[in-house]
Structure 1
């Protein structure tokens, strides 16, 4: 449904505001964008800490209206700032703060919606939003201030309308939960993401960095993933993209060789594409974890977004080098080599963890017990995972099994997994054969009986 792509409007608004703040002469290169990012980080942190009290956000009309109001205020204040005289700096700072908080709230509101979807739909709508939003911002970034402000006023309103239309189409049982139990956070994943953020931040702050490369790289990656979701979902196993970390490692390791062999723009393009792909895939993962385990995305996506602090830290490395604040041996070649090693080590640590790479997702990142002491939704997911492992179900059979165990009707499963009725029957038949059962009633009884030992005690 077209309204499901409403996240692209807020994505475009965020990119346009970030571009405007990055170009402001009052704060210098990058500083305007960095302050904008800091305002977003503050909002993400507050929402993550208060998640149990304020989630889900979409039910709070004041927050939805506030997100739109702050985004619009940021655009108006940014327009008024250059002609405000002595108050110019104050208005600019207010604009940055309002835009950062409003942008963060929109990201979390749409993440809540994406967490109501199945894996394939998460890939489809998130990648589509990144594609359309980034493309729109790139095409509109050269508008004059008045027209740009008008666009920045319309985009948040359009995003809010789409958000409400989207949630109205979600089945009640799939809506975000307001309560959840204790969980184990995937810190290993966050640490790896922080390394990638740091590496990209250093590269982005280089005086020779081509800003067009970021837009082109991000659009290209989003287009590739979106095309796979649209046209190859029935022939392509998304486990290769969505549930393995190979893409992250390859894109990270591309930094050094691209610089040496293909020139600066090509290397900037490779780094930007790798960073965009990493962030896109991890956004899929966080939304899917929330969908499977019932934990609010305010915690998962909020903590994911907080890793942007490492990118801001990376921005300071070239400045420190130019001012002689780092040892003499720290030059461009040394930094490039150090970044490559850091990304390689982080990727290898992720790839060769305790779990096999084929289990990308909760169990692969050490959060198989994420909801071990959580509500029934989380316990059900844990028991399903154990049964799937014990009976060697394929990735697709696992998805069907989990939805059957949740009591969903065949028509709902077909919509969520985007499969035909005959395909669902074929998967169900193989699941029954592997589990040695003959009906859905036996399946539900089997799941109910397979409780963890500590729960039975």
Structure 2
């Protein structure tokens, strides 16, 4: 229960973004056929790509970030006004304007909060984000039930509150232990399964949003309360799991829970009575909210243990959610003309989710299994996080400009080796085993054997000793 004694209320400001994006896009205003979510998520995806490119080119100073903060808040405020306030010209034009402004603003705001979360110890960040989900869902219930004018006022104020609490949180951030940097240019590709799995899930949700399946969901005040109550129950249950029971989180098991919620809704809802089936279909919305909050936490944890900046990690990771959602939404609209019967679409989505969960969210990837690992390894002396972290640190130290490294670099340039082949060459020259190399790069030993085979061919050698001799014979020009 130490968490509740140390929590700082300003740290809960992330929920302002959850409230804003959900309530701004789900209030029932006429759109005249304009696909609100598709436009917003496409614009958001473009913004995320721009963030990655800009952040990789040159880190922004804090003064520049503050100016972008102000612009993002203004965009979100204008978006909320266009989307939630019943203007005389409400329709396609105002929906498009709101979607564009919102897509530009919300991505940057999320990224700025990701920067803050990446500075936190996971033992504080995990319960914090779960409590944020619970309180945010409670607040969404209230805002959803407000009349248009009061709801618009609340939504226009949300971006201001989000940034005000962010600045206060950043100024008073609690110090966290130094983190191991085990995600770098050598190992970041080990997360491709996570990215692909999230992309497939998001794609299926986008399809659901724009097909007759979405019509199963109940509407009205009772349905709104039921949906948000489900989100609160899931968040509080996991909060009790982490705080009261002091248990960890498994990324793979979390996705099993998502699969259960989605499959339950898609399989049983169509066969129940209209009211019961509609309430059961709210599980889709609960799963979507849960995925968003857990993905945010996972990206913050990855950023904390990464050699890349937090904005780059967040923008690249969030893109795996936003772009497939927009593509799925577009495809879903097309499917209505091809197959008006939603049963086949429902079956295909359930099948796809099962396959993705089985093959892309298992624990076979070392890179993926390290997500939340510090939360799971508390109190252990020899943990996977410490082992991989120490290994990556040792590799970085070995890359110091000694003679062996210079010879390997010269040989790699002469033979035009790939970056991965260059690094494997250097490790082999240092006497490292294939098992060590596989662990260092978060890849299988079979993959290492493939690289070694190509290396032998390019160097025209037939053994590890011949490889070492070839490196030692390489001349380094001063």
Q: TM-score, normalised by structure 2?
A: 0.67
Q: 1:106 aligns with which of 91, 95, 109?
A: 109
Q: 1:38 aligns with which of 38, 42, 59?
A: 42
Give distance in 2, aligned partners of 1:126 and 1:54: 30
Q: Which structure: larger Rg?
A: 2
Deviations 1:49-80 (A, max 9, x none): 22224656866211121221212222345578
Give distance in 2, aligned partners of 1:242 and 1:353: 7
Give distance in 2, aligned partners of 1:255 and 1:32: 24
For structure 1, which runs of at least 5 residues remain unmatched after alignment?
Answer: 369-384, 406-443
Cα separation, partners in 2 of 1:222 and 1:107, compared to 1, 3 Å: farther
CA drift of 1:163 comes to 0.4
Give 1:191-206 correspondences, 5 Å limit.
191-206=196-211
CA drift of 1:241 comes to 6.7
Give 1:418-437 correspondences, 5 Å limit.
none
- Does residue 397 of structure 1 match 2:382? no
Cα separation, partners in 2 of 1:75 and 1:266, compared to 1, 3 Å: closer
Cα separation, partners in 2 of 1:237 and 1:451, compared to 1, 3 Å: farther
Give distance in 1, aligned partners of 2:46 and 2:208: 24
Counterpart residue number, 1:157? 160
Give 1:230-379 correspondences, 5 Å limit.
233-240=243-250, 245-259=255-269, 262=272, 263-306=276-319, 307-323=321-337, 325=338, 331-352=341-362, 354-355=364-365, 362-364=367-369
Give distance in 2, aligned partners of 1:70 and 1:137: 21
Moved more, 40-49 or 216-225: 216-225
CA drift of 1:120 comes to 2.7
Counterpart residue number, 2:75? 70
Moved more, 313-322 or 114-123: 313-322
CA drift of 1:252 comes to 4.1
Counterpart residue number, 1:133? 136
> Does structure 1 retain, via aligned residues, the 8 Å contact 2:11–2:166?
yes
CA drift of 1:272 comes to 2.5
> Does structure 1 retain, via aligned residues, the 8 Å contact 2:29–2:84?
no
What SS does the aligned partner of 1:159 have?
helix
CA drift of 1:35 comes to 1.8
CA drift of 1:401 comes to 6.9
CA drift of 1:284 comes to 2.0
CA drift of 1:153 comes to 2.6
Give 1:152-231 correspondences, 5 Å limit.
152-170=155-173, 182=185, 184-185=188-189, 186-207=191-212, 208-210=215-217, 216-217=226-227, 220-229=230-239
CA drift of 1:193 comes to 1.0
For structure 2, which runs of at least 5 residues remain unmatched after alignment?
Answer: 1-7, 399-423, 431-478
What SS does the aligned partner of 1:83 have?
coil
Q: TM-score, normalised by structure 1?
A: 0.69
Give distance in 2, aligned partners of 1:349 and 1:63: 40
What SS does the aligned partner of 2:281 have?
helix
Deviating 4+ runs (over 6 angstroms):
172-176, 399-405, 447-453
What SS does the aligned partner of 1:239 have?
coil
Give distance in 2, aligned partners of 1:168 and 1:200: 37
> Does structure 2 retain, via aligned residues, the 8 Å contact 1:3–1:166?
yes
Instruction: Give the RMSD, CA atoms, in angstroms.
Output: 4.1
Moved more, 258-267 or 182-191: 258-267
Cα separation, partners in 2 of 1:76 and 1:241, compared to 1, 3 Å: closer
Cα separation, partners in 2 of 1:267 and 1:101, compared to 1, 3 Å: same
Deviations 1:224-243 (A, max 9, x none): 33454357525241235786
CA drift of 1:151 comes to 1.5
What SS does the aligned partner of 1:397 have?
coil
Counterpart residue number, 1:96? 99
What SS does the aligned partner of 2:369 have?
coil
